[in-house]
Copies of this chain bind each other. A is one copy, B any other.
């Protein structure tokens, strides 16, 4: 089985660390193929950036070798609904996978991340799934300044742990550490927080494995868009939309 991990951010180091975690979480014989966005942003942190990166992500999926499932590896899931319509393999979103994992593990959940700049984008993922009533909120430090995302899991570790402790006290049975830069933090804090901790990368790759090989997407499905001519798109994406592949 081959799973595509498409990082819509341009930061290669982030892709590498996610791929490492993902590979460790799938059964032997499952290959994780990682791709980094060739253009766009070092790190997406707004709905506007997600609109652009989502379109780039469709290109990445169109240009990839044949796979059994794909992951859009940015919490916030840029391009997710579009990708599902367009491709004939299952597509998993990192935020959606984490949230659906969380609701299967406990009653109410919270999302902890490193900057309030993410809050509107992450809340949009919660709302899109209709999980507002199960979610205690996106919990972040107050600081709105730009952060060095690369090492934020280390530099803000204590603050993030305290936020997780606080929201567990308020009733969150499950806590998601949201955002690619927090990959691995759930594992790191497992003994420190009296709640169930979810790592979105792990959640996403496990969902990709779960969906691959079931729920076949027949080309005949009525919800598949009709073939369409386009202008000025990346060639692979244009071919996909024209149903020439």
Contacts and interface: CB of A to CB of B under 8 A. Distances in A.
Interface residues of A, number: 95
A52 interface: yes
Interface in A27-47: 27-29, 38-42, 45-47
A232 B40 contact: yes
A216 B193 CA distance: 11
A101 B211 contact: yes
A210 B216 CA distance: 19
A48 to B, nearest CB: 4
Nearest to A145: B226
A58 to B, nearest CB: 6
Copies in the complex: 6
A168 B224 CA distance: 12
B195 A221 contact: yes
A24 to B, nearest CB: 10
30 contacts: A10-B231, A25-B213, A25-B214, A40-B232, A40-B233, A41-B229, A45-B225, A46-B86, A47-B82, A48-B241, A51-B51, A51-B58, A52-B82, A54-B55, A55-B55, A90-B104, A101-B211, A104-B207, A107-B223, A120-B173, A127-B133, A130-B130, A146-B226, A173-B222, A194-B222, A195-B221, A196-B215, A206-B209, A206-B210, A206-B211
